[in-house]
């Protein structure tokens, strides 16, 4: 269909929108011919009937990619005006100028079809409401998107192929620079190099990024940072910078590409996701000089991973300031997980507890184990002091001698490699010396081979020296004597109260691998299974501290003594006897109170709590009678029983204060109103009268 037939009067009444875009600012500056072609579409609109003032140019998306409409304000404005019915025609040099994304292109076509808006490109005018035109425009959009994919694939493939060879130049971290030949070398600034070397040495010593930051702050050191203009400045070290340096493989001399994956979200924001080492497109160890070895870099990553994990991971964390000696090394003997450490301030000091509560936290199960730290830590401290003996040092020396013999054998093999490289270099030298100097084509080739053999020889020598420095630990007699003498100093150092807890844990880390704890509540003990670095296992047994209820509990010996005294004494008498012998109640003994004393009420509580036979039951078993039973047996009144007991005619035994049981004579029972009774009463009255008179005479004597 003719383009003029598609343009209707109602189209010309609305505005004509000319969309102009180029993908990058470099294209905007250099590809001026494309810009002229796009602006020339104004003439096509005028030829179709639009006035010049009706043509609206949308060119504020210059230098923006057409892969998405999220960040293109001009395209969003165009779609909005088309949807509001303001546009009669939308013009673009080609589909790729409007959109490289098929989703954005189809959305524009749908809105144009609903708003009855035409589309014009270099090939003609299209009506999105018509099936044939809609089909053709859809194919053009698909081809434009495929073209972008092909372009990206070509560029991406070239970059990856170059990166796999380690030749793609990437921005280098602080401390590494490119030389004039394009090779990666250490920064020529001595201060930068020494600071980075000190950083890695500090991390190897403290084992934590945050502790490294604290060490730099304590020492007053600054860390180098490179700005975008390649200028290096020194700033205070931060935790994020420390972690970034430790994670960067370039410091280990490794070429790495594709460590992160970038993608855009629906709102146009860029997201970053870190990849694992196996997913990196390129990783070439020992590609250039570094500050640490690749093995040390891997070890640093393991330490960071262990430090960054929560208590769910079975791990041995770095030493910290708390008094828990087995922090990060105590393993639960029931579930196999590492204990968490909890601290509590008790009796003016900080005490540690090893707690395994994963099941309680996640599933609501009871606590697996909760073990007091001081008894276990004291046992481990004594064990460490015992293990550091001169015999242990002698054994370590024997092991070192064996390892030294193995390293000497490996060094002999490396010497053979150096000799072979020396022979090949001498051979290449002789070949070069025999060639005619005027024959430069052959001489240059032989000179290159000679230089290559010399580099191989130098590399073999450097590797041998590096290996020898790594394996060099020959101990002379003076060093051996110092090691033997160090055992005494070690015990002093371990017992010194001024030694920080962090240092004790570091010393422990060189000797013990882990410690498995099993609590035995029935026995009141804890089994401590110690696994040393060399594989040796030793088991200790420690007494578990008593609980608060157990600490205030009365001693079993006191309970046994009360049980014996109940045969002949009442509660108040027993309390007095216990106090005279220096016994104290359980709670007072735990708190060190010497003023607390036993009372009749405390003794009664012990009898009831420990279910001892009462004095009443004991007297009844011995045949004692109550007042009613004694009165019935003697055929007298109960008051008479009381008077007879008072005057000694029958025996009375107290069992609860003033309550008594009575013991009758086996023979010659007293009779009521007999001569014997009268004589006894008279004698008792006479004794009372004599006692009263003696008391009065004493009072008169004191008064005079």
Instruction: Residue 380: name the closest of 408, 407, 354 by CA.
Output: 354
Helix (H) or strand (E) holding 398: helix 390-434
- Please give the Cα distance from 40 to 403 (Å, whole number): 83
Instruction: Residue 133: name the closest of 119, 122, 147 by CA.
Output: 119
HEC sequence for 429-497: HHHHHHCCCCCHHHHHHHHHHHHHHHHHHHHHHHHHHHHHHHHCCCCCHHHHHHHHHHHHHHHHHHHCC
Kindly report each contact of residues 521-530 with a partner whose C-beta sits within 8 Å and lies 24 or more positions away, as own/partner. 526/371, 526/375, 526/376, 527/333, 528/376, 528/379, 528/380, 529/333, 530/380, 530/383
Q: Active site includes 230?
A: no
Token digits of residue 190: 């001595």
Q: Report phi then psi at 249, rounded to 5.
A: -75, -15
CB 533 within 8 A of CB 510: yes
Side-chain half-sphere exposure of 683, counting CA atoms within 13 A? 9
- Please give the Cα distance from 555 to 582 (Å, whole number): 13
Other Cβ atoms less than 10 A from the Cβ of 334: the count is 14
CB 222 within 8 A of CB 237: yes
CB 528 within 8 A of CB 354: no
Side-chain half-sphere exposure of 105, counting CA atoms within 13 A? 25
The residue from 15, 23, 208, 317 that is catalytic is: 23
CB 83 within 8 A of CB 124: no
Instruction: Residue 561: name the closest of 545, 543, 548, 579 by CA.
Output: 579
Q: How far is CA 379 from CA 383, 507, 544, 577, in A?
A: 6, 16, 12, 41
Token digits of residue 679: 């004589």
Q: Which residues are catalytic?
A: 23
């Amino acid at each position: 269909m003719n383009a003029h037939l598609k343009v209707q009067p109602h189209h010309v009444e609305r505005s004509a929108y000319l969309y102009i875009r180029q993908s990058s600012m470099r294209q905007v500056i250099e590809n001026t011919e494309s810009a002229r072609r796009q602006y020339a579409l104004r003439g096509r609109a005028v030829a179709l009937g639009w006035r010049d003032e009706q043509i609206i140019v949308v060119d504020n998306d210059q230098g923006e990619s057409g892969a998405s409409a999220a960040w293109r304000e001009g395209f969003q404005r165009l779609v909005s005006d088309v949807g509001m019915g303001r546009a009669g025609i939308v013009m673009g040099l080609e589909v790729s100028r409007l959109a490289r994304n098929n989703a954005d292109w189809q959305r524009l076509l749908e809105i144009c079809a609903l708003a009855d808006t035409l589309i014009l490109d270099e090939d003609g005018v299209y009506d999105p409401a018509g099936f044939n035109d809609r089909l053709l425009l859809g194919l053009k959009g698909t081809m434009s998107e495929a073209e972008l994919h092909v372009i990206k694939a070509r560029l991406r493939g070239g970059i990856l192929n170059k990166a796999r060879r380690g030749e793609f130049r990437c921005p280098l971290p602080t401390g590494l620079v490119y030389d004039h030949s394009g090779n990666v070398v250490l920064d020529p600034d001595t201060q930068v190099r020494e600071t980075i070397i000190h950083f890695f040495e500090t991390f190897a010593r403290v084992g934590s990024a945050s502790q490294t930051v604290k060490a730099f702050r304590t020492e007053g050191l600054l860390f180098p940072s490179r700005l975008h203009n390649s200028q290096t400045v020194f700033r205070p070290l931060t935790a994020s910078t420390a972690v970034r340096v430790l994670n960067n493989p370039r410091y280990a001399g490794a070429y790495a590409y594709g460590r992160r994956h970038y993608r855009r979200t629906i709102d146009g924001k860029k997201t970053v996701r870190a990849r694992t080492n196996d997913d990196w497109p390129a990783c070439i160890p020992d590609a250039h000089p570094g500050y640490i070895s690749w093995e040390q870099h891997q070890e640093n990553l393991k330490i960071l991973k262990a430090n960054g994990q929560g208590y769910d991971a079975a791990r041995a964390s770095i030493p910290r300031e708390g008094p828990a000696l087995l922090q990060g090394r105590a393993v639960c003997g029931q579930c196999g997980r590492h204990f968490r450490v909890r601290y509590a301030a008790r009796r003016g000091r900080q005490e540690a507890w090893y707690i395994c509560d994963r099941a309680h936290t996640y599933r609501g199960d009871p606590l697996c184990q909760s073990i007091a730290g001081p008894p276990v830590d004291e046992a481990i401290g004594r064990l460490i002091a015992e293990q550091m003996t001169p015999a242990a040092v002698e054994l370590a020396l024997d092991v070192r001698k064996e390892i030294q013999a193995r390293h000497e054998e490996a060094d002999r093999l490396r010497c053979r490699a150096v000799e072979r490289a020396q022979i090949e270099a001498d051979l290449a030298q002789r070949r070069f010396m025999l060639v005619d100097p005027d024959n430069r084509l052959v001489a240059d080739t032989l000179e290159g081979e000679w230089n290559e053999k010399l580099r191989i020889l130098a590399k073999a020598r450097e590797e041998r020296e590096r290996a020898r420095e790594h394996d060099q630990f020959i101990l002379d007699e003076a060093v051996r004597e110092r090691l033997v003498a160090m055992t005494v100093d070690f015990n002093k150092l371990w017992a010194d109260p001024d030694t920080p807890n962090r240092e004790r844990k570091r010393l422990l880390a060189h000797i013990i691998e882990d410690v498995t704890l099993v609590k035995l509540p029935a026995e009141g003990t804890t089994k401590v299974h110690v696994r040393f670095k060399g594989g040796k296992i030793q088991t200790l047994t420690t007494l578990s501290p008593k609980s608060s209820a157990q600490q205030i509990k009365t001693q079993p010996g006191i309970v046994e003594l009360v049980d014996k005294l109940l045969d002949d004494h009442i509660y108040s008498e027993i309390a007095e006897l216990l106090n005279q012998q220096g016994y104290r109640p359980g709670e007072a003994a735990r708190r060190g109170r010497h003023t607390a004393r036993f009372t009749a009420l405390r003794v009664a509580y012990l009898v009831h709590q420990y279910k001892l036979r009462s004095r009443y039951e004991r007297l009844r078993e011995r045949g004692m009678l109550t007042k009613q039973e004694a009165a019935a047996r003697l055929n007298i009144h109960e008051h008479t029983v009381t008077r007879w007991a008072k005057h000694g005619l029958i025996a009375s035994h107290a069992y609860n204060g003033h309550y008594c049981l009575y013991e009758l004579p086996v023979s010659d029972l007293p009779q009521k109103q007999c001569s014997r009774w009268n004589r006894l009463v008279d004698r008792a009255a006479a004794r009372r009268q004599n006692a009263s008179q003696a008391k009065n005479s004493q009072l008169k004597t004191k008064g005079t």
